[in-house]
Amino acid sequence: MSFSIQFTHAITRRPAASITRGLRAVDTGNPDLALMQAHHDSYIATLRETGATVIELPPLDAYPDSVFVEDTALCLPQGAVVMRPGAPSRLGEAAEMAPHLHALYGEVVGITGAESFIEGGDILVTEREILVGRSARTNAAGIAELARLVAPWGHELREVHTPPGVLHFKTDCSLLDVDTILSTTRLSASGCFDGYRVIDVAEGEEAAANTIRFNDLVLMPAGFPRTRDAIAAAGYTVREIGNSECAKLDGGMSCLSLRFTPRK
Ligand code: CIR
């Protein structure tokens, strides 16, 4: 099985009360912390259902978006890369994550260039390559630095584009198995997934594209029945998780965890 769908570990961070100051493209109202925490609890319980060890870090009030841990690191089997988030209010989150990666990994490196910016939400790891979407948060210098860091581990990067107005590359896609990608049609139409099997999210359900395949389960946001049925019909075991509060901050399933199998 590929390293990209089978995991022994996940790291999450509980949402902080400062979440009401989290970044958002469009203001649709503040998230309700209690409801977000309840959704977060069911997300963690579902990851644990697969037998994985799920670490829950404490809330970080100084960083309103810190529940979205995915943006702070790229976790590969050979080692972890600490990111350099392109959102100024999120830069410090990466350093907060680093010690937790050092505790689990033999090798941890970092993006350090003053002009390099890259967030984990722009990175999709498949069995054969690492796709990185340039976005408002991820620039060419960040991608080039990441390519240099992971080359010794045998990984190749392919740069792709994030659709205009979309926060991260993975806002619009996710890996369902080693060869299958769930994608919005506005993204797959670019041809970036040619050579993969692509399952399109239903029209009008674009917010369902950000799912995660975690061991035997696909976790997806609740409320997208046509996409849910399409994923189930393709043979996957689906779990729907409430995402109404994270969605107010442009967050989804992948943002809420780092998923990996570390080699010590
Ligand atoms: C942000 O704008 O950075 C957060 N409000 C949402 C981050 C979502 N992260 C992700 O998709 N990987």
139 lines ligand 1 (CB under 6 A): no
Residue 263: which pLDDT band, with cuts at 50, 70 and 90? confident
CA of 194 to the centre of ligand 1 (A): 27
Tell me the domains of the chain and their CATH numbers: 9-260 (3.75.10.10)
Which whole-number Å values give the CA distances from 85 to 1, 51, 80, 105, 194, in the listed order? 31, 31, 15, 21, 29
Predicted TM-score (pTM) of this structure: 0.97
Task: Return the ∠ at Cα 74 (arms to 104 and 55), rounded to 5°.
Answer: 40
* Rounded distance between C-alpha atoms, residue 97 and residue 13, angstroms: 10
Query: Looking at residue 261, what is its pLDDT?
Result: 95
The catalytic site residues sit at 168, 255
The answer, yes or no, to whether residue 2 has pLDDT greater than 90, is no
Query: Looking at residue 79, what is its pLDDT?
Result: 96
The β-bridge partners of 181 are: 175, 198
What are the structure tokens assigned to 212, written together? 């995660």
* Rounded distance between C-alpha atoms, residue 41 and residue 56, angstroms: 10
Residue 16 is classified by DSSP as P
206 lines ligand 1 (CB under 6 A): no
CA of 68 to the centre of ligand 1 (A): 6
* Rounded distance between C-alpha atoms, residue 231 and residue 228, angstroms: 5
